[in-house]
Amino acid sequence: MTGTKKYFLRFNTLNRSLHFFMIISFLTLSLTGMSLKFSYTTWAKILSRIFGGFESAGFLHRFSAIVMITVFLIHLINLIVVKRKESVSWKTMLLGENSMLFNKKDFEDFIASLKWFVGKGPRPEYGRWTYWEKFDYFAVFWGVFVIGLTGLTLWFPEFFTRFIPGWFINVATIIHSDEALLATGFIFTVHFFNTHLRPEKFPMDIVIFSGSVPLEEYKLDRPAEYKKLVESGELEKYLSDPQPSIVLIAMKIFGWAALITGFSVIIWIIYAMLFSYR
Ligand code: HEM
């Protein structure tokens, strides 16, 4: 990092904070949830002892659930606030170039990426959001909705059985448990690979904590957005200063702790499935 190097601001403070709380809550939900799901394994017993027993693990699970649902709601409210502030229509918001919804370019980029992987074409000119980032976003969007709704059903069965039949509590347990396994498996492998382990970013990308990336790196990684901003004269708006070195070091330590925890959970799950599944 040098004082003269220019940085490109990719994530604002709100989105960085939301992602930070998402990491903390998801890791806690996953650790406490899996210690319950695989409670017959030694690692689950050790984990739950660290959490102060299965009962307090259940309390931590519910507390983190409130954090995660709050993050989700703040994100939805923020979308509406941004739409009003920028005075854009829902159509532009949902179908415009910077939308998180899939569009024709994502399909073309996906095909071009496959060709690039086997050396049959150049690296696609990715824009603000790539197809794999949109996929990760909707995987979480769907996951929070399904896991959250079934989790609330398990938490407040008396309330929910006023509207739904009692047997649905059993179904909700299966959906919650299996969707949680899928979400944990997805986030700690596919999401980690997409963001940190792909060759351009290996071994870790801290942009979601620091908010900015060196401009030269951004130009190579997201050429389509870079060109668009240069042509429209808007690039200046996104230029920022780098974070102080000490802050970057703290972010890296946090990032590594999260990555190592996630990978450990995957290893424990695979171990439980292979050697002691019940
Ligand atoms: C976000 C809202 C969530 C709510 C409201 C919620 C709520 C609950 C509740 C009430 C239970 C029963 C716990 C007990 O009996 O003490 C439970 C179990 C569980 N939760 Fe969650 N949870 C949420 C999210 C998550 C997430 C994100 C994961 C993991 C990625 C997860 C994984 C699990 C697992 C594995 C179990 C055990 C299921 C079993 O016994 O097979 N939960 N959850």
The predicted model gives 195-218 an average pLDDT of 95
The pLDDT of residue 1 = 45
The predicted model gives 163-177 an average pLDDT of 97
Å from CA of 152 to ligand 1 middle: 9
Å from CA of 64 to ligand 1 middle: 10
44, with CB counted inside 10 A (0-12, 13-18, 19+), is buried
Position 3 confidence tier, pLDDT thresholds 50, 70, 90: low
Q: Whose CA is nearest to atom 18 of ligand 1?
A: 33
3-state secondary structure of 99: coil
Give the CA count within 13 Å in the CB-facing half-sphere of 105: 17
28, with CB counted inside 10 A (0-12, 13-18, 19+), is buried
Ligand 1 atom closest to Cα of residue 58: 16
Å from CA of 134 to ligand 1 middle: 25
For 60-66, which contacts have Cβ atoms below 8 Å and span 24 or more sequence positions? 60/28, 60/32, 61/28, 61/29, 61/32, 61/33, 61/36, 62/155, 63/28, 64/24, 64/25, 64/26, 64/28, 64/29, 64/32, 65/25, 65/29, 65/148, 65/151, 65/152, 65/155
Cβ neighbours, 10 Å, residue 7: 21
Nearest to 44 by CA among 254, 277, 260: 277
pLDDT digit string, tens, across residues 207-228: 999 999 999 999 999 999 999 9
The predicted model gives 5-22 an average pLDDT of 96
Residue 271 scores a pLDDT above 70 = yes
Residue 154 scores a pLDDT above 60 = yes
Å from CA of 34 to ligand 1 middle: 9
Ligand 1 binding site (Cβ under 6 Å of any ligand atom):
26, 29-30, 33-34, 36-37, 58, 61, 65, 68-69, 147-148, 151-152, 154-155, 176-177, 180, 183-184
pLDDT digit string, tens, across residues 124-139: 999 999 999 999 999 9
The pLDDT of residue 96 = 87
Ligand 1 atom closest to Cα of residue 68: 1
Residue 48 scores a pLDDT above 50 = yes
Residue 178 scores a pLDDT above 80 = yes
The pLDDT of residue 189 = 97
The pLDDT of residue 249 = 97
| Beta-strand pair 212-214/239-240 | unpaired
Nearest to 74 by CA among 15, 1, 34, 30: 15
pTM for the structure as a whole = 0.94
Position 278 confidence tier, pLDDT thresholds 50, 70, 90: confident
Residue 257 scores a pLDDT above 50 = yes
Question: Best substitution site from 47, 176, 181, 277 to test ligand 1's pocket, by max atoms within 8 Å of Cβ?
Answer: 176
Å from CA of 26 to ligand 1 middle: 11
Residue 153 scores a pLDDT above 80 = yes
Low-confidence winner among 6-20, 64-78, 93-107, 156-170 (lowest mean pLDDT): 93-107
The pLDDT of residue 80 = 94
Mean of all residue pLDDT scores within the chain: 95
The pLDDT of residue 2 = 45
Domains belonging to the chain, first-starting first, are: 7-275 (1.20.950.20)
> In the chain, pLDDT over 70 holds for what percent of residues?
99
